[in-house]
Amino acid sequence: MPVLLAIGGLDSLNAAPLQWGLTRGRAAHALPLRLTLRTPAASAAALAGGAADVALVPSIAVPRLRGARVVPGLAIAARRRVRSVILLANRPLADLRRVAVDSTSTTSVALLRILLARRFGSYPDLVPHDADAAAMLRDHDAALLIADAALTASAPTAEIHDLATLWAEWTGLPFVFALWVVREGVEVPGLEAALLDSRAEGLENLAVLVSEASARPGWPGGPALTAYLSELLHYGLGPEEEASLARFYQEAEALGLVPAVAPDLLPERRAERAS
């Protein structure tokens, strides 16, 4: 009996296209695997603690995963607008004092801290909170919501700031929210090909994902979700995305949010150093 490959996935719609083949497609039959869906922070913790061999983790976690390797070509990214990582604010960003944050995504919290500090000179207290927009805004100046909670949020009086848009305006780059990462010492023939194939099947079945999601109470309709998965988000990790990650890690390191980043962390850099 082959050993099961423990894979940590994300329990949100934005990850569903990457994970399709691991549960419903060819990858589920090509590899002996067990997929467990978690929040982004929990997925990173599972990989770091050995509960997962491979995991889809928030990009801010990668520099802390010493010895782990990023799977080439795959990511959850947005070129300019993402819609599912938003700050609802009741005052100007430069004047924020207390911000309630859904801390299940450490990347979004780090991105918010970087943007507020570097673009707006703002250093508010970031307070972990359950993902409830009304409750968050009751006692705070702003609320950070991510993933499915952001897609279904309602706060009529707050100004909505899309963090991917703020990043793109500042850097001219897309933003990378999550990456497939393999734990140190894990070597599985065909793993990277299976993950690539899982994405291909997911993108082929976006209509199914949209139909299922739009049927949930309170969720946006099919056209909005189709645009979200096929236009706002993309699932590749190329030179622009790697340049964005390098900038993100540089800014995060300057604020003490991550340790120094290894120069060969990303696939493109490893290839350059090997050539």
Alpha-carbon distance of 201 to 195, in angstroms, equals 10
pLDDT tens, per residue, the chain with 275 residues: 345 789 999 999 999 999 999 988 888 888 888 999 999 999 999 999 999 999 999 999 999 888 899 999 999 999 999 999 999 999 999 999 999 999 788 999 999 999 999 999 999 999 999 989 999 999 999 999 998 889 888 878 889 999 999 999 999 999 999 999 999 999 888 899 999 999 999 999 999 999 999 998 888 888 999 999 999 999 999 999 999 999 999 999 999 998 776 555 665 544 444 44
Q: Tokens for 144?
A: 């950070």
Whether the Cβ atoms of residue 252 and residue 244 lie closer than 8 Å to each other: no
pTM of the model: 0.91
| pLDDT value of position 274 | 44
Domains and CATH numbers, the chain: 5-76+175-222+229-274 (3.40.190.10), 85-171 (3.40.190.10)
In whole angstroms, give the CA distance from residue 45 to residue 61.
9
Residue 13 C-alpha from the chain's centroid: 11
Distances 76 to 163, 223, 232 between C-alpha atoms, Å: 14, 20, 11
Strand 159-162 vs strand 85-89: parallel, antiparallel, or unpaired?
Answer: antiparallel
147, 152, 156, 159: CA torsion to nearest 10: 20
